[in-house]
Amino acid sequence: MTVKVQREDFDVGAELAAMTAGRTSIGGVTLFVGLVRDMAGGEAVSAMTLEHYPGMTEKQLEAIEAEARGRWPLDDVLIIHRHGRLEPGDQIVLVATASAHRQAAFDGCHFLIDWLKTKAPFWKLEATPAGERWVEAKESDDEAASRWARDA
Amino acid sequence: MKILYFAWLRTKIGIPSETVELPSGVTDVGGLVDWLKTRSPRHAEALANSKVVKVAVNQEHVPYDHPVAATDEVALFPPVTGG
């Protein structure tokens, strides 16, 4: 039920604790944490800058979250996505889903990160020894998202 | 009408946004993109390949046949790469 778009880092343990505190109906939480890699396409990456579309980003993440909650019985959902300049090893994104049972938590989390990658308006600019370059969208990301498509 | 550009569309065109008067006869996203190409050589080059120019109207992803109106906020950007 929470979407945060921020420059600041986040503390996964603190977020998990806040999500579950006093909520004993939750039987399991799935967490996905995306990190900045030090290599991309065979080239070293020294930094990455994430640009986004303020307003639309929050709107799209909230819509994705509502879609997940409509599909699975989720007690809680948390999406944190950072923007600005990040370095290898830095956390980029956190998706957390809580449910009474593990299947909904796993599936909801997987769906959210796959859909987020094709719908949330973020763009990555990588710094490499050859200069800066905009990351190109991957067909494999579209395929991953399309696995969750279903007839209306 | 407010037009926003992101990522390499912003750097290629050289501005993050501009306010334009929607010409009569432009009724959908495809028509708007074609008209924007005529604004400068930088616009023409950046918008040349419509496969990699995605559009949002009022912060919702839309196809090229989606209608546009003078009060819309229209954003043009490459395929997204977050996550």
Q: What is the pLDDT along chain B (83 residues), one digit of tens a residue?
A: 999 999 999 999 999 999 999 999 999 999 999 999 999 999 999 999 999 999 999 999 999 999 999 999 999 999 999 99
ipTM for the predicted complex: 0.95
Contacts of A123 in chain B (CB under 8 A): 6-7, 77-78, 80-82
Q: What is the second-level CATH architecture of the domain B2-77?
A: Roll (3.10)
Q: What is the pLDDT of residues A94-143, one digit of tens each?
A: 999 999 999 999 999 999 999 999 999 999 999 999 999 999 998 889 89
Out of B60, B61, B82, closest to residue A122 by CB: B82
User: What is the predicted pLDDT for the residue at B54?
Assistant: 98
| Adjacency order of strands within the sheet including A84-86 | A84-86, A47-52, A122-128, A131-134
- The CATH number of the structural domain formed by A2-137 is 3.90.1170.40
Radius of gyration of chain A (CA): 16
User: What is the predicted pLDDT for the residue at A151?
Assistant: 59
* Contact yes or no for A113 and B83 at CB 8 A: yes
* Contact yes or no for A81 and B8 at CB 8 A: no
Q: Is A67 exposed, middle or buried (0-12, 13-18, 19+ CB in 10 A)?
A: middle
Q: Is B8 on the interface with A (CB under 8 A)?
A: yes
Q: Is B75 on the interface with A (CB under 8 A)?
A: yes
3-state class of A27 per DSSP?
coil
